[in-house]
Amino acid sequence: MTNPLLSGIRVLDLTRLLPGPFCTLYLAQLGAEVIKIEEPQGGDYARHLSPELFALVNRGKQSVTLDLRQAEAVSAFKTLVAGADVVIESFRPGVMDKLGCGYDALREINPRLVYAALTGYGQSGPFSDRAGHDMNYCGYAGVLDQTGVAGGPPALSNFQVADLAGGALTCALGILAAVIGAKTCGAGSFVDASMLDGTLALQVMALASLRTFGHALPRGSDMLTGGLPNYGVYKCADGKHVAMAALEPKFFRNFCAAVNRPDLARLPLMPGEAGTALRKELAALFKSRTRDAWEHLLSHKDCCVSAVYSAQEALEQAHVRERELVESDSGKPAFRFPIRFSDTPCGTAGSPALGQHTHAVLRAAGVGEAVLAALSASHAI
């Protein structure tokens, strides 16, 4: 059952690959009607590059094929725009204007339209026309420089911070704010969402260091990247790891009591050389048991020490099952919307086949049979 909170909101989604589709997946899970506009030849690149990724981030959407390089398809798209609340695209700046479908053209049709452009670098500035991916945005935002161990090179992550957090979720927030504004005052707006901008805005810890010390601390040496011995990752007897996040002294004291090592509580909780003795003691201690043995011993000791799970283990843990955070999509695991609302169940259907809803959606929008036939004949749909 779909969450009804955004029921009645229609989104025309021209995005591809990951950030844009993930943004509109959240809108679909909240109950919006998301119509995915794809090129007739091949559609979203993710359909071929990673079919399982496509299936995950396009659940609950409809697929309409329109070749916006053809005038007939542009006309049909504008018919859809007249009844839409949101248009979201992820082309480089100016592409939609060249197609005759930019914000200025579309708001003439629908003054309450929210038009969101999700790009790497935004609509202005010297980087605006550059190509990029998550790693590029994280590099420019200073995130990559802070990721990794002291003395080592920057480390890559399989979690796309810029694509998903700086981009998709920031854009979704902007869309929802603009939709509320349109409902309130009757006028839509242009939402300029940049993955670099959004990622930079998440850098609160780095900014705090800059404000405190005048510079960011080197990779692996600040409070949350390995500088403190009581906030780090330690290897266990079986080669697996635990995460110790006993940042506040009370949590570290609880840990010392749980492992019957009151002597550790007397060592300084300090970064750098001052914390070396404690770090060595903790490294030796954690190697004395397996990861699961530590989890069994410490999980209820209120000390912020947890197992480091693989992705498969994360899906199978009891807490995730109890919270029903994973649902089935064609017999395979998929994530539910992560926020719970009172009396509003959520869930989504599977992902659409390319062009599966083209004729039904266009007919419902008022496109006549003769026009549909002409669109089909010209391969515009």
- Please work out, in degrees rounded to the nearest 5, the angle formed at the alpha carbon of residue 100 by the alpha carbons of 76 and 77: 15
Domains of the chain: 10-201+327-377 (3.40.50.10540), 223-318 (3.30.1540.10)
Mean pLDDT of 72-92: 97
User: If you search the block for the tokens 């590099």, which residue do you land on?
Assistant: 139
pLDDT value at position 73? 97
- Going by pLDDT thresholds of 50, 70 and 90, the confidence category of residue 222 is confident
Q: Is the pLDDT at 119 greater than 90, yes or no?
A: yes
Percent of the chain exceeding pLDDT 90 equals: 88
CA-to-CA distance for 49 and 36, rounded, in angstroms? 18
The CA-atom distances, in angstroms, between 93 and each of 96, 121, 122, 295 are: 8, 9, 8, 50
Structure tokens at 114: 């929210």
Q: Is the pLDDT at 1 greater than 60, yes or no?
A: no
The partner residues of 241 in beta bridges, in order of sequence, read 235
SS3 string, 42-105, reads: CCCCHHHHCHHHHHHHCCCCEEEECCCCCHHHHHHHHHHHHCCCEEEECCCCCHHHHCCCCHHH
CA-to-CA distance for 141 and 132, rounded, in angstroms? 13
Mean pLDDT of 104-132: 98
Mean pLDDT, the chain, integer: 95
Q: Is the pLDDT at 114 greater than 60, yes or no?
A: yes
pLDDT tens figures, 291-302:
999 999 999 999
- Going by pLDDT thresholds of 50, 70 and 90, the confidence category of residue 328 is confident
Residues noted as catalytic: 133, 163
Global model pTM greater than 0.85: yes
Mean pLDDT of 304-318: 96
Q: Transcribe 143-156 into DSSP letters.
A: HHHHSS-TTS----
pLDDT value at position 2? 59
CA-to-CA distance for 341 and 31, rounded, in angstroms? 13
